[in-house]
A and B are shown apart, each in its own frame.
Chain A
Amino acid sequence: MLVLVTAGVFTLIHLTPGDPIDVMMAESVDDSVKSNLRRELGLDQPIYVQYATWMGRLLRGDLGRSIRNGEPVIENVSRRIRPSLQLAALAMAVSLLIATPLGILSAARRNTSVDRVGTTFALFGICMPNFLLALLLIFLFGVKLRWLPISGYLDPLEDGWPGLRSLVLPALTLGLALAAVVTRTLRSSMLEALGEDYVRTARAKGLSEWRVIRGHVLKNALIPVVTVLGLQLGTLIGGAVITEYVFALPGVGRLVVDAIFARDYPLVQGVVLLIAVGFILSNLAVDLLYGWIDPRIRYR
């Protein structure tokens, strides 16, 4: 599986018209200098030789070095991963804070005005492009109200409050979109659970509606929500590409975009591979979570 992924990424990137050396160096640079550098980096070898070399290093845990700044790919990524993880965590928190009450209320008070607010919010959040929402927030909170910084990044763990402030708008951008998806999923899976026999039994026992929902409905409605959250991690990474671009955050998403445009082969391969691995692992984690949420699901 991962072999297919790596081979795919490799072929893809090397098919890209344009050459990293040409992108990096001025046209005036002597051709012999360029071809020397190509030989040094192994770029003059046929593509399958390059792939084999790369795979060989990969198996020894070496992702190679960036062509542009000469640093190991791993270092490039680890420098950029902090802002991305912080952003993802905050966005996840924002989305759960919004989506949990909204989804539950929408389902419990179906076809009332609360429900309509919930479903309308979900629809808008899903249809709203990330970059447009980002610009709206920048316009409102950065340009008109001047409450929050509109770009740049400070580490909240080191700089405290100003750092957190620099992440508010990006986290809102990503979190609102995610909240929309989660609200929608939570609402529909709760509606499904509400129609089950055990809910009728619980009500017949005389439990309060709140306890029925908390004890019986919510637990059974969680599986689809967790699935969606896991799948959305990919979208979170993709969305982060745009969000990091708009807010000038030095994260992994921005690293990918820059590397793709600079034809920095080892860097693109390394980062995309790491992202794909992270994506696969998070989906695996979700699969394992199922068993914990719902003991009826067992893996042999």
Chain B
Amino acid sequence: MAGSIRGSGIAEPSAALAQSAPRPTARGRRWEILRQAARTRLGPLGVLVLLLAVTVALLAPVISPYDPLKQDLGHTLARPDRAHLMGTDNVGRDVLSRMIWGTRVSLLAGFGSVALAMVAGGILGLLAGYTGGHTDGFLMRLMDAVLSFPPLVLALALGAVLGAGLGGVVIALGVVYTPTFARLMRGQVLTITTREYVEAARALGAPGWRVAWHHVLPNAATPIVIQASLSVAFAILAEASLSFLGLGVQPPGASWGSMINAGRGYLQQAPWIVFWPGTALFVTVVGLNFVGDAVRDALDPRLRK
């Protein structure tokens, strides 16, 4: 889905040092990756946005000034003022409070669905690539079938099957993203299983699952992690789209997408109902994109120059 965004211009030239240096310890390598990620221009900004969003989501009950569900029919469509910093919506609910609670939904959906897809796709891809033969053929055709649907249409249909609620959307999006991970993992596994160390492990009599788990999986992980970090932003967008269409968290519960949908009838009188959750959504997605790019730049050796 995501191509290279700013080309390869961002990877610092000094990154080459990391490669020519003697093989660092696992801990040292982790530091090196973090240092790499921090050196990109926008990565730290993205991490800041992500941390802010996570903090808001965790502290929602503490920092939310009002009950996000409490209606005040004498105080509807109120302009932003000192009492309601972001105004109120068409039934007098505080927009700021709803936005704060909506953060939880977005992050849960984004990270939940990608985690699901990563695990499911990872296992399927490992299975397909490692066992080969008919299992491989069947699994990959299945993944192709999933991929032959436009993603949003598939997510809509699945969401309708699984029923309303956040869980349904997380699973639906998880299924939609699974083939990407499965294909990546299979490709990795196919190249790794031909390496000498895998052969050596086999020759030493290690059982198949042990070879897969200890030798293949850790070496196949990098592209999967990169893909996951790039996917979260898209998953958050997708969740917002689905809840905009009426799936996902049901009213009166607050999610950014459903807030925007509810506010679109009041664009003229009360644009703030759409503006604030829209801004929150956009900033979060941009921030996560920066994080994703930084992770990719740090982990992908092909981009190092």
- List chain A positions with a Cβ less than 8 A from chain B: 1, 4-5, 8-9, 12-13, 15-17, 110-111, 119, 122-124, 126-132, 135-136, 138-139, 143, 181, 184-185, 187-188, 191, 224, 228, 234-235, 237-239, 241-242, 245-246, 256-257, 260-261, 268, 272, 275-276, 279-280
Contacts and interface: CB of A to CB of B under 8 A. Distances in A.
Contacts of A128: 282
B150 A257 contact: no
B151 interface: yes
Interface class of chain B by DSSP:
helix
Contacts of B158: 12
B149 A276 contact: yes
Interface in B1-20: 2-9
Contacts of A235: 150-152
B223 interface: no
A8 B141 CA distance: 12
Given A123-B5, A135-B260, A187-B7, A5 B278 contact: no
B161 interface: yes
Given A129-B281, A242-B241, 15 more contacts: A12-B161, A17-B161, A129-B257, A129-B278, A129-B282, A131-B241, A132-B281, A143-B268, A188-B4, A235-B152, A237-B150, A238-B150, A238-B151, A260-B157, A268-B157
B156 A279 contact: no
17 contacts: A13-B157, A126-B2, A129-B241, A129-B282, A131-B241, A131-B261, A135-B264, A135-B267, A135-B278, A184-B4, A184-B5, A238-B150, A238-B152, A241-B245, A246-B264, A256-B156, A279-B149
Contacts of B150: 234-235, 237-238, 275, 279
Interface string B244-262: 1110000000000100110
A13 B157 CA distance: 7
Interface of B: 2-9, 141-142, 144-146, 148-153, 156-158, 160-161, 163, 233, 237, 240-241, 244-246, 257, 260-261, 264, 267-268, 271, 274, 278, 281-282, 285-286, 289
B286 A4 contact: no
A117 B59 CA distance: 37
A1 B282 contact: no
Contacts of A9: 157
A228 B3 contact: yes
A8 to B, nearest CB: 6
B148 A276 contact: yes
A237 B153 contact: yes
A180 B270 CA distance: 30
Contacts of A138: 264, 267
Contacts of B281: 129, 132
Contact of A17 (B6, B163, B257): B163
A129 B237 contact: yes
A97 B94 CA distance: 42
Given A8-B145, A13-B157, A272-B153, A188 B3 contact: yes
A65 to B, nearest CB: 20
A110 B149 CA distance: 36
Contacts of A257: 156, 245
A257 B242 CA distance: 11
Contacts of B5: 119, 122-123, 126, 184
B276 to A, nearest CB: 12
Contact of A275 (B145, B153, B245, B264): B153
A1 B7 CA distance: 36
A257 B286 CA distance: 28
A237 B141 CA distance: 23
Nearest to A119: B6
